[in-house]
Each structure stands twice: as structure tokens, then as C-alpha cells.
């Protein structure tokens, strides 16, 4: 089952290192150089899948092969699987659908999962623009979460078996038909949970839970500000707030989403496009908030801090303000950086406030912590206290449209990607034609060209 | 009972404003100027108590009287009480024992307390040096906590009665034989609690409790760093840590105090004078700490932050590093400022950490919050889970020695001041002689001259 020869390939080694989250030192500098070389080679022309070995499904497809095809049993060569690959930083068209060859084999402690649904996250949008440091350099398969069925288990895996329905949380590489991951990164799906729900849960609910309960210490009668309340984390946070008695949720979203977020539990929806949310919160809670969740960054972090009452907690977990269009907007990035919140000990003391930073992508080395949180979330799901809301599902072929939906803030709930081919189209990936992945599909190309220019906002 | 005319005196108004904690706007700018003028007038020569009217006992004695003595009933004039007054910023001799005339009268919502014991806090030491912004300018009576017996109640006080044994938490002004305070700032002492214990509880235990449970969210199996573990907050924090299952306490203190703090619950005592506490903690907990309490400031705040594991919380609540001797040490102050911890949102996010600032003196406007915490503390006391440790008791005459004991870190537990005169000495305050308070007592003067120069450390 083991493929030790793969360790001679530095890219492969890197992938394994990140998969195992073992924390051991890798030759990072050397790896970086290798990645960059690859990027140069492959950004415009992602390599064809003919190079793919039976390496872990999360590996970037362009790894220069050191293990030759001759070393593989012939039956594994015919196995192919669809994979979304970020070919370079840029617009929606940089995420390409590829077909990879060679069945991934779970190593010691790993399982092979046949993926049924994947979650799309803000981090994926930022990663595509080169703004997310936890995604390795292209070519790389994005995707931090998925759900599916275990198809094979590696040695030393005792608590998972073939046929188990699982949800998976991983740093990257989940947007594929099959993935191999450490068994400890999979969690058994409860009865009655759909694959779409399962793929919608890990990132958003773990994030919301840890912010509200580990940092926020949310308690009865408190008040919470939730930005982007119709988004994945927003909906998760709103639901989790209501697992505590009499919590008031202020939620920002555009007016068209107010009915939905009100039904979802937002006490005071605020249309941030037409109102000053600071004023709106102060009108209702003159003393301010107990907890402010800040996914925006820049000047909004300052506003959130100032809105806190004494003993209040600001939890900053993103910089969505950097993301104003399809392509990296240097002005927005610079502005968000320039306005970045900073504070010293004395000011914090005088204010009696707490400032917390949360970044799930940097919790790689804390599998136990994450497992505990997922266990609690699945318990809450079982009790009917939380339920992921799926906004829409998109086949891998439609990943550009899916990203656009989220980028343009049209979603209410989670945007889900499905590995299975779109029914209306001929299943081209079964033809194993290279051309299909070399260029974006025509109809998508047209749409995306309209969006090539960064939006002026 | 009311003295509305006092509102025409801005100093008096200021005192009332702070006493009532009403949160209403005061003419702060004007007040500041007034304070400074007074300081100039009175720093070297504290005004005699002949100016004292029957104003709230917490008021600074130097207020220029607008209510004349003629307005007072003659019987109140003969009432005198001992009061410690900070006459100006500087060494131990700046806190002078005075005798004030005129019985304080509790106004609406207030009670008059006959004080039995007072707590000494780090903030008082800093206030004496002019390093504590929550103490009004001299002349002023310091003291944030005391215990005693209610001797009179004002109108509209329904939940306190004459004879009630209470502990009191207040911004300043408690180092007196009698004080008038808002009834809501008093808390009934449980059965079996001594006045010394009661005076030792409010500041240290409220501070430790709010840090550990409001900000820190302390839970089973976590680890906590407690600096100055033999001090008031240190002992309170250690005891409170053990109200949660299997909490590991790292406590810094000089070696001579290790036996005491071990018995008190510190799991790993660290002699910060001979060991690098960062290394010591890492040796035992390679991953670091869940919570670090930081009363030191400066470079120690950075160390505490770096010692946190992911999802860890730093709670900074002081700058004891500024306090290196009896007098303000500008070098120490500058160094602490220069090394002051500062952080931006992105660094916090990447670290997955929380930084909290706590300052009880800035929670004036949160009496409900404080009351809830005191109620919980008294419940824990009743259950035998916490018990203030009194290091030593000192009569008002010995306040310089008491402060020195704390300043030089010789105490294990709380340093308590007793308003009642020292038995061995003639009760000079009954002689009502002005001279006694105009100059520091001879024997104290001698001792303190040795300490006039800031220590070179």
C-alpha cells in the first residue's frame, strides 16, 4: 500500500507534510523555489493528467514524476478522477477542471474518500487571487472541506471502514472526485444529514463555534454583531448564538436577504449598503455589543472594536474588504492593510476589551481541538439546534459561476460544488481528452471575459 | 439630608460624579484644570482638616468650601475621623494621616460605613507615584476597598440596614475611618468572614475572576501562568483556577515563597529571579499555555503572548514593571512604555490568539457586572473554595511600612490597613492637633529618607 518512492519528489513530500499535519520540519525554502518554478511552467498551460501517478489525491497535478508509470500496477492506470486545479493566481478561469489518472492509495492512517460534495469558502476566493497564504502555490487543488463515502482504508486505521459516510476538513485539496486524507480529519456523518449539508458544515461551523465559544465566551442575554449574516459563517454564527438563551444578533446583509436572515434568527438585520451599521447598533444597544465578529478587516475592525461594551470581545477572522472583484484589487488590498487595526496593551486595558484573531487555516497542528469542536457540532446537529443552509449546488464544470455567486454576495447560505459531471453535458472527462482542460469551456469563457477587469467599486 | 449646594463646587461635583458612577457627562476639561490648580496649591502643604465639611467621606479634603460651617448643625462639627490623604505624588511619606471633622452624611441611595479594615493594592502604590490615572489629583484619599459596619443609611436605601457587615469596592477614598458610598457598592459579608478577609477580597478576587472567567474562559485541563503568585491577585487567581477541574498553575515568585504558593495551589512555582520563566514553562508544557495573566507589562507582555498555545489568551492588567522603587523611576517607566506590547489584526489571526486588557478602575460604569461577580465570589467563599490570605495588618499610622512591604515584594497575600489607632501609641488623633498631619512622623521620616533615591535596578 505504501509508496515510499514518492518521498524523493519534493512536491510530493510537501503535499504529504501538509496532509499529515505532523508539524515536522520540511525543507520549506527549497520547496518554495520548487513551487515557483512549477508555477512559471504551468500557470498558463496546466500539465496534462498523463503525468499523474497514483499519488495522494490532494497532490498538485503538475508534479514532475520521479516514480515512473512502469512501477504502477497496470489496473491502477486506468482509474481516472475529476479534479479542480488552480493553475495560477487570477480570475475565475484560473480554476480548471482536470482529469487525473491513477487511483490514490491511502497510506498508513489514511482513508480514501469518494467525494460527493465540496464546500466553497471565502478563503478559496482569496486563494485564487493569491491572497491566502495557507494555499500552496499553483498548480494546486483548492478546497478545505468535503463530504463523501470511504472507499478504502490504509493500515492502522481502526475507527473508519469502507462505506462510512464522512465529512472532511482539510487545509486544501478537497475539490476532487476522490481524496486521501488522514482518518482523523474525517468525521462520521450523523443520520439524516445530506452530503450537501455535510460539506457545508466543517469550515463555517467550526469557525463560528470556536469564535463564539472559545474566544467569545458567549453567555445568556449577550449581544453579537454578525457581518455577512447571509453567508456561510454568518448563518452558522446566528444559529449557534441561539443555542444560548436570549442572545441578540445584529446581522448585516443587503436588504433583499433580510427576510431570510430574520427567519434564520437574526434579531436586527441591518442593510449595510444604505445604513451606517454603527449607528443602527447604537440606536438599539446604546452601550454597545458583547461580541463583534469581524470578517471584513480594515476600517471595519476599528468600528467593531469601538462598538464593544466594557468586557466586550472583538474577534477578527478575515479581510473580505480586500476582495472587491474577480481579480486582485491592489487598491483594496492596500487600503485594507493601511487601515489594519492595531492596538497596544495600555489602550486595551483602559478599554477593558479583548481582541482575538481567528484563522482556521492556521490550526493545522490542532487536530484534537478541531475534533472536539466537530463532535460538539454534530451533537448540536443531532439535537436539531443547527442545520447548514445550502444556497446552491454547482457541478465542477460550473466552479467559475459558483465562485462568482459568492464573490458578488448573491448567496444565502453555502455554495456547494459537486464532483459528479453535469447531466446535460456530454461526459467529456470520460473521453480522457486533454484539450478539455487545456482551455476553459467556451460558454464560461465568454461570461468571464466580461469580468476580466477588476470592478471599480 | 441632601446638600445640593455642593454641586456648585466643581471638585465636589467631580467626586460625586465618580462616586455615583452614573455615567453622566461631567465637564471633564474644566475639572482637569481645576484639579491641577489644586494640586499646585496643595501638594507640599496639605490643607488642614478645618476645611472639611460634612461632605461625602470619599471626597478630597482640600476642596475649597462653598458650604460654610455655619450651615452645619453644631453637633456634627465635633465628629472627627481618621483619614489617609495623599498629599502629593512621591514616596511613602506623601500619604499622611489626617483627622477630618464633620460627620459624613449618606445622601439618597448611600450608606455610611464605619470602616474596620482596608485593602492595599498595587494601584495605590502607582497612584502615589502619579502613575495611576484613576486616582484624582492630590490631595485625595486613596483606597479602593474596605470592610466595615453600616452606621447610617440614606433615603431610598432599602436593601441595607444599620449594623450590616459589608465589604466595599470603590474607585478611591476608602482609607478612612468612615466612608459614605452608594449602597450598591457594598456587599453583605458572609457568616464567618473576618473584616480583614472582607477587605482583602474585592479588588483582587474580582480582578482574578473576571480575567479568568470573563476573558479567559478557563476550562478543565487548561494551564495558566500567574505572575507574582504570592501577591493578592496571584493568590486569588490560583484559588480560582482550582475551582475548575485539573487546571495547571505556573506561578512566579521568589524562592522563599515557593512553599507557601505550592500549598496555595500553584502546580509549578518558578523563581523568576534565578530562572527564565519562559524556559521553565516550555520545559513542562512544550506547546505553551492556555491563559497568561500579565500584571508586569513591557517585555513580559511579549513573553506571555509568545508562550500561548493556539487559541490561548493573554490578559494584561498592569504595568508593575514601572514600579521599581519608592519614587517614580522615569527610566523604568520609559522602558515599560517603550517595550509596550502592540499587535495588529493580521498577526493575531495568524497566531489564533486573544489579547485582553483588564482594568477594574475603568469599570466604574458597570456596577451590575461587578455585583454579579462579587455575588459569585461570596458564593465560592461560602463553599470554602476561596479564602483570602492576609499577609499582614498595619494601622493607618504605619501605612508607609505597609506600602514598603508590598513595594519590596515581601508580602505573601494581602496587606491590610486598619483605621483604628495603634495601641502602643498615644491616640493623637483624639487631640485634634493639626501639626500631627502637617508633617510625617519622625520615625517614619528617617526610614523613608533612606529610600528617597530611586533604586538602581
Residues near A413 by Cβ (< 8 Å), separated by ≥ 6?
A: A200, A230, A231, A232, A235, A388, A389, A390, A391
CB B312 within 8 A of CB A214: no
Tally the C-alpha atoms within 13 A of residue B284's C-alpha that lie toward its C-beta. 17
Closest partner residue to B349 among A316, A346, A354, by Cβ?
A: A316
Distance (Å, whole) CA B194 – CA B207: 21
More confident call, B424 vs A346: A346
Q: Please compute the mean of the pLDDT values over residues A187-199 and round it to a whole number.
A: 96
B248-252 and A248-252 strand pairing = unpaired
Q: Please compute the mean of the pLDDT values over residues A385-405 and round it to a whole number.
A: 97
Spell out which residues of chain B touch residue A346, defining contact as CB-CB under 8 Å: 319, 340, 357
CB A406 within 8 A of CB A92: no
Nearest Cα residue to A83 out of A55, A110, A49, A109: A49
Interface test with chain A among B357, B367, B372, by most A beta carbons within 10 Å: B357
User: What's the length of chain B?
Assistant: 457
pLDDT for B74: 55
Q: DSSP secondary-structure letter at B282?
A: H
Q: Do A345 and B342 touch (CB under 8 A)?
A: yes
Q: Do B317 and A363 touch (CB under 8 A)?
A: no
Spell out which residues of chain B touch residue A356, defining contact as CB-CB under 8 Å: 313, 348, 353-355
Is the confidence at residue A147, as pLDDT, over 80? yes
Q: Do A340 and B358 touch (CB under 8 A)?
A: no
Cell digits of residue A322: 480586500
pLDDT for A389: 97
Is the confidence at residue A16, as pLDDT, over 50? no
Mean pLDDT score of chain A: 81
Spell out which residues of chain A touch residue B349, defining contact as CB-CB under 8 Å: 316-318, 357-359, 362
Is the confidence at residue A120, as pLDDT, over 70? yes
Q: DSSP secondary-structure letter at A156?
A: T
Our CA-based measurement puts residue B355 at a distance from the nearest CA of chain A, in whole angstroms, of 5
Could you count the other beta carbons within 10 Å of the beta carbon of residue B72?
17
Distance (Å, whole) CA B228 – CA B235: 9
Closest partner residue to B345 among A297, A311, A353, by Cβ?
A: A297
Q: Please compute the mean of the pLDDT values over residues A203-217 and round it to a whole number.
A: 97
Our CA-based measurement puts residue A291 at a distance from the nearest CA of chain B, in whole angstroms, of 12
pLDDT, averaged in runs of 10, over chain B (457 residues): 34 29 32 36 35 37 40 64 96 95 95 98 92 91 97 96 97 96 96 96 97 97 97 97 98 96 97 95 97 95 97 93 79 82 91 96 91 97 96 97 94 97 61 40 37 35
Our CA-based measurement puts residue B57 at a distance from the nearest CA of chain A, in whole angstroms, of 27
pLDDT for B424: 65
pLDDT for B318: 87
Cell digits of residue B7: 454641586
Q: Report the chain B residue with the minimal C-alpha distance to residue A337.
A: B346
Q: Do A369 and B345 touch (CB under 8 A)?
A: no
Which tens digit of pLDDT belongs to each residue from A211-224?
Answer: 999 999 999 999 99
pLDDT for A105: 95
Q: Please compute the mean of the pLDDT values over residues A240-256 and round it to a whole number.
A: 97
**How many A/B residue pairs have CB atoms within 8 Å?**
129
Which of A8-17, A122-131, A205-214, A350-359 is least confident?
A8-17
Is the confidence at residue A441, as pLDDT, over 70? no
DSSP secondary structure, B209-243, as one string: HIIIIIIS---TT-EEEESSTTSHHHHHHHHHHTT
Cell digits of residue A169: 476538513
Q: What pLDDT band is residue A189 in, cutting at 50, 70 and 90? A: very high
Which tens digit of pLDDT belongs to each residue from A83-104?
Answer: 999 999 999 999 999 999 999 9
* Chain center to CA of A318: 12
Q: Is the dihedral of CA A154, A158, A161, A165 positive or negative?
A: negative
Q: What pLDDT band is residue A319 in, cutting at 50, 70 and 90? A: confident
Spell out which residues of chain B touch residue A366, defining contact as CB-CB under 8 Å: 310-311
Our CA-based measurement puts residue A14 at a distance from the nearest CA of chain B, in whole angstroms, of 21
C-alpha dihedral (A157, A159, A163, A167), degrees to nearest 10: -100
Q: Do B348 and A369 touch (CB under 8 A)?
A: no
C-alpha dihedral (B362, B364, B366, B372), degrees to nearest 10: 100
pLDDT for B449: 37
Q: Do B349 and A358 touch (CB under 8 A)?
A: yes
Cell digits of residue B203: 479588588
Is the confidence at residue A418, as pLDDT, over 50? yes
Residues near A201 by Cβ (< 8 Å), separated by ≥ 6?
A: A145, A167, A377, A381, A388
CB A264 within 8 A of CB A238: yes
pLDDT for B47: 36
- pTM of the predicted model as reported, rounded to 2 decimal places: 0.78
Closest partner residue to A352 among B294, B355, B359, by Cβ?
A: B359
Q: Do A369 and B311 touch (CB under 8 A)?
A: yes
Task: Name the helix (H) or strand (E) containing A111.
Answer: strand A110-119
Closest partner residue to B352 among A313, A351, A359, by Cβ?
A: A359
Which tens digit of pLDDT belongs to each residue from A19-60?
Answer: 223 333 333 333 333 333 333 333 333 333 333 333 334 443
Interface test with chain B among A290, A314, A315, A349, by most B beta carbons within 10 Å: A349
Q: Report the chain B residue with the minimal C-alpha distance to residue A300.
A: B345
Distance (Å, whole) CA B150 – CA A20: 66
Residue A411 phi, psi (nearest 5): -85, 150
Q: Do A362 and B341 touch (CB under 8 A)?
A: no
Q: Please compute the mean of the pLDDT values over residues A338-360 and round it to a whole number.
A: 92
Nearest Cα residue to A88 out of A144, A18, A122, A136: A136
Is the confidence at residue A134, as pLDDT, over 70? yes
Interface test with chain A among B313, B356, B360, B363, by most A beta carbons within 10 Å: B356
Distance (Å, whole) CA A294 – CA A311: 17
User: What's the length of chain A?
Assistant: 457
Q: DSSP secondary-structure letter at A389?
A: P
Q: Please compute the mean of the pLDDT values over residues A438-445 and round it to a whole number.
A: 36
Spell out which residues of chain A touch residue B363, defining contact as CB-CB under 8 Å: 310-311, 352
Could you count the other beta carbons within 10 Å of the beta carbon of residue B158?
9
Closest partner residue to A340 among B310, B318, B346, by Cβ?
A: B346
Amino acid at each position: 500500500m505504501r509508496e515510499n518512492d514518492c518521498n524523493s519528489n519534493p512536491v510530493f513530500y510537501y503535499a504529504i507534510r501538509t496532509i499529515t499535519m505532523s508539524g515536522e520540519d520540511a525543507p520549506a525554502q527549497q520547496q518554495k523555489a520548487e513551487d515557483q518554478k512549477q508555477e512559471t511552467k504551468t500557470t498558463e498551460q496546466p500539465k496534462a493528467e498523463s503525468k499523474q501517478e497514483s499519488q495522494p489525491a490532494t497532490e498538485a497535478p503538475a508534479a514532475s514524476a520521479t516514480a515512473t508509470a512502469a512501477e504502477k500496477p497496470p489496473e491502477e492506470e486506468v482509474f481516472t478522477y475529476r479534479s479542480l486545479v488552480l493553475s495560477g493566481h487570477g480570475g475565475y478561469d484560473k480554476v480548471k477542471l482536470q482529469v487525473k489518472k491513477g487511483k490514490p492509495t491511502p497510506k498508513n492512517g489514511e482513508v480514501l474518500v469518494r467525494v460527493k460534495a465540496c464546500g466553497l469558502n471565502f478563503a478559496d476566493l482569496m486563494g485564487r487571487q493569491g491572497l491566502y497564504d495557507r494555499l500552496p502555490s499553483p498548480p494546486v487543488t483548492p478546497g478545505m472541506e468535503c463530504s463523501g463515502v470511504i472507499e478504502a482504508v490504509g493500515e492502522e486505521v481502526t475507527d473508519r471502514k469502507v462505506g462510512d459516510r464522512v465529512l472532511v476538513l482539510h487545509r486544501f485539496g478537497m475539490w476532487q472526485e476522490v481524496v486521501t486524507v488522514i482518518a482523523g480529519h474525517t468525521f462520521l456523518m450523523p443520520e439524516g444529514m445530506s452530503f450537501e449539508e455535510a460539506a457545508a458544515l466543517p469550515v463555517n461551523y467550526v469557525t463560528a463555534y470556536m469564535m463564539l465559544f472559545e474566544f467569545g465566551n458567549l453567555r445568556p442575554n449577550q449581544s453579537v454583531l454578525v457581518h455577512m449574516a447571509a453567508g456561510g459563517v454568518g448563518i452558522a454564527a446566528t444559529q449557534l448564538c441561539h443555542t444560548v438563551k436570549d442572545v441578540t444578533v445584529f446581522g448585516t446583509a443587503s436588504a433583499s436577504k433580510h427576510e431570510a436572515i430574520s427567519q434564520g434568527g437574526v434579531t436586527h438585520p441591518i442593510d449595510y449598503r444604505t445604513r451606517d451599521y454603527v449607528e443602527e447598533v447604537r440606536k438599539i444597544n446604546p452601550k454597545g455589543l458583547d461580541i463583534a465578529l469581524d470578517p471584513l478587516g480594515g476600517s471595519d475592525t476599528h468600528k467593531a472594536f469601538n462598538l464593544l461594551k466594557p468586557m466586550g470581545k472583538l474577534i477578527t477572522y478575515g479581510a473580505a474588504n480586500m476582495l472587491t472583484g474577480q481579480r486582485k484589487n491592489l487598491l483594496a488590498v492596500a487600503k485594507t492593510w493601511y487601515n489594519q487595526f492595531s492596538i497596544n496593551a495600555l489602550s486595551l486595558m483602559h478599554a477593558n476589551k479583548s481582541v482575538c484573531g481567528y484563522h482556521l487555516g492556521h490550526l493545522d497542528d490542532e487536530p484534537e481541538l478541531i475534533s472536539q469542536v466537530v463532535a460538539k457540532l454534530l451533537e448540536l446537529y443531532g439535537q436539531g439546534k443547527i442545520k447548514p443552509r445550502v444556497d446552491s449546488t454547482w457541478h465542477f464544470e460550473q466552479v467559475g459561476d459558483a465562485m462568482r455567486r459568492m464573490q458578488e454576495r448573491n448567496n444565502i447560505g453555502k455554495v456547494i460544488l459537486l464532483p459528479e459531471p453535469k447531466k446535460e453535458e456530454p461526459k467529456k472527462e470520460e473521453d480522457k481528452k486533454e484539450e478539455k482542460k487545456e482551455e476553459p469551456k467556451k460558454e464560461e469563457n465568454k461570461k468571464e471575459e466580461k469580468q476580466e477587469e477588476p470592478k471599480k467599486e
